[in-house]
A and B are shown apart, each in its own frame.
Chain A
Amino acid sequence: MLDFLLPALLAGVGVAIVAGPLGSFIVWRRMAYFGDTLAHSALLGVSLGFLFDLPLNLAVVICCLTLALLLVSLQRKKLIATDTLLGILAHSTLSLGLVTVSFMDNVRIDLMAYLFGDLLAVGLQDLLWIYIGGTGVIITLVILWRPLLAITVHEELAKVEGLAVDWIRLVLMLLIALVIAVAMKIVGVLLITSLMIIPAATAQRVSNSPEQMAIKASLIGTVAVMLGLAFSYVADTPTGPSVVVCAAALFLITLVLPSSRAVA
C-alpha cells in the first residue's frame, strides 16, 4: 500500500508546500481569477504537447509562462478591464485545448485526469519536476520576499522607494504560472486554484504576520493533501476533488474557531 501511495503523497505534499506562500499572494492581491486563467491554459499546453510530441510537463510549463507574459503585457495596455480580459483568455484557451484534443484521433487522452487530476498516476518524472521546480520557487520567494510584500502592500510607495516594481510583479506571475503548471497533475486544471487559495484563506484566520500566513498555508495544504489521499483510498473517491473537499473542511473549521486577528 505504501509503494502505491508514497509517490502520490510526496507529490501532493511538495505542491502544497509551494502553493502555501504563492496562494497567500493570490489572496492578498485578489488574483484568484488570474490563477484560474493560467490553470485553464494548462490544458492547451497538454494538447499542444501531444500535437508536437513534446514532454507534457515541459509543454504545460511553456504554455503557462507564455500566457502569464501575455496577460501582463495586455494588462499594461489597458485595452479592456482586467477581469474581462481574464475571462476571455481563460475560456478561450480551455476551449482551444479541448478542440485541439478532439482533432487528435490517434492519441487517447484521459481528459478527466487533466481536468480533475490524477494523483495516483504520479511518476518519478513528475516528482522531479515538483521538487526541482518547487525548490527553485521557494528560493526565489525567500530572496524576493520583502520586495514582493512591499509591492503587494503599496505598489507606488514601493516604486518611489526604488523597487523595480514591474519586474518583481512579473516574477510573481511567472512563479504562480510555474506552480500551476507543475501542480496540474495533482488536482487538475479545474481545481488547482482552490489548492492555492483555500489553505491560504484558512491560514489567514490564524496568522499574525505574512510569514506566518505563508508557512501555515503550506502546513494546512499538506494536511489537506494527506487527509484527502487517505479519504480517497478508504472511500474510493477521486483524489483531486477529495483533497479540495478536505481543504474546504479545514477552512470551515477555522470559521467556527474564534478569530485571532486581533494582535495584543
Chain B
Amino acid sequence: MSTPLIEVANICLKQQQRTLLNNISFKLEEGEIVTLIGPNGAGKTTLVRIILGLIKADSGTCHQRKGLRIGYMPQKLHIEPTFPLTVEGFLKLNGRHSRNDIENTLSRVGVSHLLTQRLQKLSGGETQRVLLARALLQKPQLLVLDEPVQGVDINGQREFYQLIQSIRTGQGCAVLMISHDLHLVMAATDRVICLNQHICCSGHPDDVSNHPAYLELFGDNQQEFALYTHHHDHDHNIDGKVVKCGGDHA
C-alpha cells in the first residue's frame, strides 16, 4: 500500500487554557473524499490549518507525503479595492501558467467568461469558482476546501458537489472538505469525520437518497446529496439511519 497523503497523529492544541483540538489522529489516502463536520467552534478550520502547515499544534505529528501538491481553496478572498487585479492576473500568481491552461481551467469550473474581470467585481459564487480554478492550476494531488458551499443555495451546492466529484474522477485527487452543514454532505464522500475538539465519530455517510424526509425536502434525483446522521451525547440527535459511531463519546 502506498503511503497516505496526510497522516496526523495525536494532534493537540490549546489556546488560552481552552482545548481546541484533543488527540486527533487520522489518515487521508489517495483519491479519497473526506468531509469534516462538527458544530461551530469544533476546531474544523483549526485542524485544516494545522494540516496545511499554517499553524503549529502543541503536540502530535502531521506528515505530508513527500512532494505533495495541495490545492487550497480558502473560505474567503478579500482583495483591497485599491488592488487592480483581474481574474487572469490572480490565476497567474501561483505559477507560470499558459493562457491556454488558464482558459481551460476556467471553463472547467464554468466561469471562462470571467477571465478579464476585476476580482473585486465577482459575486460570492464566482469568487469561489475562481479560487477553485487557482487550486486546480496547481495540479493538486489533494484539494483542501474550507466550507466551499457556505452561503450557496441548494442548487448551487449541488452543482458545486457535481463539479468536485467530476474533478476527483478526472484528476484522481483526494479531497478534504470542511462542511458547515452537520447533516448535509456530499454523496460522493468516502468518509465523514465528525469533530468536536476530539473526533466524535467517522464513517461512510449512509445512502439515504430514498429516505422519505429527504425526498420530500429535495425531490427525486438528487444524488449529489446524502444525509449524514448524527449520534452525539448532546442534543443533535435526529431520526434516521445510524452511521457507525466510534465508542468514544464522552
Contact = CB atoms under 8 A, between A and B. Distances in A.
Contacts, number: 67
Nearest to B144: A160
Is chain A's binding surface mostly helix, strand, loop or mixed?
Answer: helix
A159 B85 contact: no
B116 A210 contact: no
A231 B104 CA distance: 54
A71 interface: no
A159 B54 CA distance: 7
Interface string B78-95: 011011111001101110
A146 B94 CA distance: 8
Interface string A145-171: 010011011101111110000000000
A204 B74 contact: no
Contact of A160 (B70, B82, B93): B70
Contact of B85 (A27, A146, A157, A209): A209
Nearest to B52: A160
Given A210-B89, A262-B118, A156 B54 contact: yes
A159 B77 CA distance: 15
Interface of B: 52-54, 70, 72, 74, 77, 79-80, 82-86, 89-90, 92-94, 116-118, 134, 138, 144
Contact of B83 (A158, A161, A210): A210
Interface residues of A, number: 28
A28 B83 contact: yes
Contacts of A262: 118
Contacts of B82: 27-28, 201, 204
Contacts of B84: 204, 207-210, 212-213, 261
Given A154-B77, A209-B85, A263-B117, 16 more contacts: A27-B80, A30-B80, A146-B92, A153-B83, A156-B54, A160-B52, A160-B53, A160-B54, A160-B70, A160-B72, A161-B70, A161-B72, A204-B82, A209-B86, A212-B84, A261-B84
7 contacts: A153-B83, A157-B134, A159-B52, A160-B54, A208-B86, A263-B86, A263-B118
Nearest to B72: A160
Contact of B93 (A29, A149, A208): A149
Interface-central residue, A157, A159, A160, A208, by most chain B CB under 10 Å: A160
Is chain B's binding surface mostly helix, strand, loop or mixed?
Answer: loop
A234 B72 CA distance: 58
Contacts of A159: 52-54
A257 interface: no
Contacts of B72: 156-157, 160-161
Contacts of A261: 84, 118
A260 B93 CA distance: 23
Contacts of A107: none
A152 to B, nearest CB: 7
Nearest to B146: A156
A161 B94 contact: yes
